[in-house]
Every structure is written in structure tokens, then in C-alpha cells.
Amino acid sequence: MSDKRYPEEFKIEAVKQVTERGYSSAEVARRLGVNPNSIYNWVKKYGSGKKHATELDKQVEENRRLRAELKRVTEERDILKKATAYFAKESQ
């Protein structure tokens, strides 16, 4: 295992198991067949991305909420336009 290279995606997924799912580094290393020191090093290198990922998740959720609100408000506006046109026709 000393010269084995792992893809960055593999390392990030291993770190997620430790930082997000709560598994111990030793347990993840044992399950993946990786040296526990490698897991510790990967957590140091990639673990700080958890804060960034959390912020990104918040932004994605806020974006989703705002899109839904925009859709609702746009539909309300269209209904009000049609109602205005209808009542303007009726009053003539």
C-alpha cells in the first residue's frame, strides 16, 4: 500500500464518511483497505471543505426556495392581469 495512489474523488468520499457520516477514521480505513494515516491526512486536506459544502448546500436550498416563490408570484401576477382585463371589459 505504500506506493498506491488513489483518485481525488475516492479521497473526498472517504473524508465525507468521517466528517459527514460520523464514522471513525480507523473504521473507514479498515473498510476501504487504506492506511489509517492516509485517512487522517485526507481529512486534514479535504475536511475543511465541509464548511464550504454546508454553505453551498444552504445557497442551493435558498435558490430553490426563491425559484418556487418567483413561480408562485408570477402565477399570481398573471391571474391578476387576466382579472384586470376581464373587469375592464365588463365595465365598458
Angle at 78 between CA 73 and CA 80, to 5 degrees: 95
Q: Which value, to the nearest 10 degrees, does the dihedral of the CA atoms of residues 10, 11, 14, 20 take? A: -120
Q: Which residue type occupies 14?
A: A
Q: What is the pLDDT of residue 29?
A: 93
Q: What is the C-alpha separation between 82 and 58, in angstroms, rounded? A: 36
pTM: 0.49
Q: Mind listing the pLDDT tens digit for each residue in 42-85?
A: 988 887 655 666 777 788 889 999 999 999 999 999 999 999 99
Please check the confidence at residue 4 and state whether its pLDDT lies above 80.
no
